Amino acid sequence: MRSGAWCAAGRPALAAGERREKRVSGPQPPGGPPIAGWPEESAQRLAKARELRARGVDPYPNRYERTHSLGQIVAAYGEKSLAELESLALPVRIAGRVMLKRPHGKASFATLSDGESRLQVYLRQDDLGERAYKLFEELVDLGDYIGIAGRVMRTRKGELSVQAKELTFLAKALLPPPEKWHGLAGVEARYRQRYLDLMANPEVRRTFVARSAMIAEMRRFLDARGYVEVETPMMQPIAGGAMARPFTTHHNALGIDLYLRIAPELYLKRLVVGGMEKVYEINRNFRNEGISALHNPEFTMLEFYTACFDCDDVMALTEELVAAAAQRVSEGRPVVYKGREVSFTRPFPRVGMKDAIAEAAGRAGLELPRASLDDPARLESWTRSSALRGRRSGKGAELGPERYEGVPHGKRVAQLFEDLAESGFWHPTFIVGYPVEVSPLSKARPDDPALTERFELYAAGMEIANGFSELNDPLEQRQRFLDQLAERERGDAEAHRMDDDYVRALGHGLPPTGGCGVGIDRLAMVLTDSPSIRDVILFPHMRPETGRPG
């Protein structure tokens, strides 16, 4: 193969001056944009794509054989001197998107990116031949994806580069890159067009690589301890396993309504009944609720269940799991979120919910004695007073008597924790002692039946995990479901529904079992210093663009 050739994939290379098809002198004058709404520049780029075809070059070939990623070249040869690289004369075939193009007469420079790394390419007419060099000058735009065959070298200014001997078109970009790669104009545009966000902002790619590493570590951790990864239904006849509003769909063949799952919990515990005593699942949940910096309607959870474990066992395992994930992502560096360090040093503190409320109230200058939280009448009287009027929760919600009116004592306690205390837990902390009214699937504490053997793990002021000793008495579970149905009749749309088949499964005997759900997205937020859940979900849900369908 001649070194001075423009190589179209799947075709023999052309030497300078050879022809495959009739030569057309320059791109033909463009018409309008090929798709309504695309910029005028897209017409010029389309004309260049047509010109490439006219010159016998396929702008969208099927494949390209490369020998190295850009990162591999940087890692292996970044420290070698000019003389060492000249002695090696290492031949390589690389590919990447054109991020920068600097023509200088009969020699040019371009910067390529393959997403992971960037590398300079040095192109000379003497090396490529006049025909191929003119194609680079005239028809290559920023954003085009090209292949380069050549040798690794270092410029006189010391920059690691590849000196091009062949150039292959891999994808002609008909749309220009965002603001000459200086980033997208707004946060919303970044979320809508994540592909451009990834192209323009290397730190975004690093965030999602870190998320992937975090999940891989969680899998490794559980696999090494004998857990079996399983998959449970995404569409369920009853939306169970959590207290949330579901998305509804319809199965035409069966003629029934189904719900996108709000949690996999009840199916995973059915598996424990069946003898799969150590199971986990990492998958999507769906909740038809609000969108915020902490909430996306579609999100990822890890749930794991262990026979013969109780709440304390699950807390110990969760602590070890989360710390291992943090270590994998941070690689020993301090974890910093919103400018403040978050320490994943074990052991994580454990704090009772009512103690947390009383301490937070005291810090806020509120007169709320700890004893009032144990007395339903006293607490109801306090919340009916003007003590909270004019204040806001840690999430910004306006507080006042109406917020706590007409709810059971346990729900009132849990709401006060959410409003006053949860945002204050910055370093990972287990909150324990959850009321039975907000824990319909948890086992009651033997020493206090009003509370359950349940915990939630908080970090950076938000819930990261939720676990408990699983309620395994089928008759008590059925009564809990009936209590939840009564709440639904009183207007609580998030109350748990009756699941007779789950009760039937418990009737066959669920051994003592502990389970936990870990919010993958929120933990990734903390470990990657991402202020919004949308920053760690590749394609978060958005309102439709104005004037565009869907």
What DSSP letter does each residue of 112-147 carry, written as one string?
Answer: EE-SS-EEEEEEEHHHH-HHHHHHHHHH--TT-EEE
User: In this predicted structure, what is the pLDDT of residue 290?
Assistant: 87
Q: What is the pTM of this model?
A: 0.89
Task: Give the span between the Cα atoms of 312 and 43, in whole angstroms.
Answer: 65
Residues 167 and 268 in one domain: no
| Closest CA relative to residue 19, chosen from 67, 70, 55, 46 | 55
Task: Give the span between the Cα atoms of 309 and 155, in whole angstroms.
Answer: 63
- Helices 311-330 & 202-224, crossing angle to 10 degrees? 140
130, 158 contact by CB (below 8 A):
no
Residue 98 within a domain? yes
Residues 132 and 268 in one domain: no
- Helices 353-363 & 409-416, crossing angle to 10 degrees? 50
Higher-scoring residue by pLDDT: 18, 95? 95
Residues 21 and 166 in one domain: yes
Residue 375 within a domain? no
Residue reference for tokens 């086992």: 443
Residue reference for tokens 């769906």: 286
Largest CA distance in the chain: 94
Residues 167 and 267 in one domain: no
Where does the pLDDT of residue 205 fall: very low under 50, low under 70, confident under 90, or very high at 90 and above? very high
| Segments forming the whole domain that contains residue 163 | 5-176
Task: Give the span between the Cα atoms of 190 and 534, in whole angstroms.
Answer: 10
Across the range 507-524, mean pLDDT stands at: 98
Task: Give the span between the Cα atoms of 294 and 337, in whole angstroms.
Answer: 14
Where does the pLDDT of residue 184 fall: very low under 50, low under 70, confident under 90, or very high at 90 and above? low
Across the range 293-314, mean pLDDT stands at: 97
Where does the pLDDT of residue 500 fall: very low under 50, low under 70, confident under 90, or very high at 90 and above? very high
Residue 485 within a domain? yes
Residue 420 within a domain? no
CATH number of domain containing 80:
2.40.50.140
Where does the pLDDT of residue 17 fall: very low under 50, low under 70, confident under 90, or very high at 90 and above? very low
pLDDT tens sequence across 337-382: 999 999 999 999 999 999 999 999 999 999 999 999 999 999 999 9
Residues 132 and 29 in one domain: yes
Residue 536 within a domain? no
443, 453 contact by CB (below 8 A):
yes
User: In this predicted structure, what is the pLDDT of residue 544?
Assistant: 85
445, 452 contact by CB (below 8 A):
yes
User: In this predicted structure, what is the pLDDT of residue 548?
Assistant: 53
Task: Give the span between the Cα atoms of 258 and 246, in whole angstroms.
Answer: 10
pLDDT tens sequence across 368-424: 999 999 999 999 999 999 999 999 998 889 999 999 999 999 999 999 999 999 999
Residue 256 within a domain? yes
Residues 17 and 126 in one domain: yes
pLDDT tens sequence across 248-290: 999 999 999 999 999 999 999 999 999 999 999 999 999 999 8
| Closest CA relative to residue 209, chosen from 527, 459, 534 | 527
Residues 141 and 269 in one domain: no
Tokens of 155: 């410029």
For CA atoms 336, 341, 346, 350, the dihedral sign is negative
Identity (one letter) of the amino acid at 333? Answer: R
Tokens of 7: 């190589």
Where does the pLDDT of residue 490 fall: very low under 50, low under 70, confident under 90, or very high at 90 and above? confident
pLDDT tens sequence across 25-81: 455 555 789 999 999 999 999 999 999 999 999 999 999 999 999 999 999 999 999
Residues 131 and 261 in one domain: no
pLDDT tens sequence across 458-487: 999 999 999 999 999 999 999 999 998 998
280, 267 contact by CB (below 8 A):
no
Mean per-residue pLDDT of the chain: 91
Task: Give the span between the Cα atoms of 107 and 121, in whole angstroms.
Answer: 11
Residues 28 and 112 in one domain: yes
pLDDT tens sequence across 134-177: 999 999 999 999 999 999 999 999 999 999 999 999 999 999 99
Task: Give the span between the Cα atoms of 311 and 53, in whole angstroms.
Answer: 67
Tokens of 114: 């393959």
Task: Give the span between the Cα atoms of 482 and 419, in whole angstroms.
Answer: 28
Residue reference for tokens 């890692």: 75
Question: In the listed set 176, 202, 224, which residue is the last one of a domain according to the structure?
Answer: 176
Q: Is a pLDDT exceeding 60 seen at residue 4?
A: no
Residue 224 within a domain? no
Residue reference for tokens 């192109």: 123
Task: Give the span between the Cα atoms of 177 and 42, in whole angstroms.
Answer: 11
Q: Give how many domains the chain has, as a whole number.
A: 2
Residues 261 and 141 in one domain: no
Residues 169 and 249 in one domain: no
Residue 25 within a domain? yes
Tokens of 186: 């707004």
Question: In the listed set 176, 192, 217, which residue is the last one of a domain according to the structure?
Answer: 176
